[in-house]
Amino acid sequence: AQDYHFGLEEGEGISELFDCN
């Protein structure tokens, strides 16, 4: 996964992406 460009910020995860917070 080192090659993959992770774009989520420190405080972001799947919950934010689906507006659950």
Query: What residue ranges bind another protein (CB under 8 A)?
Result: 1, 3-8, 13-15, 17-21
Token digits for 7? 């774009």
∠ CA 9-17-8 to the nearest 5 degrees? 20
- Provide the minimum distance between the beta carbon of 12 and another protein in the complex, in angstroms, as a whole number: 9
- Provide the minimum distance between the beta carbon of 5 and another protein in the complex, in angstroms, as a whole number: 7
∠ CA 1-14-9 to the nearest 5 degrees? 65
- Provide the minimum distance between the beta carbon of 9 and another protein in the complex, in angstroms, as a whole number: 11
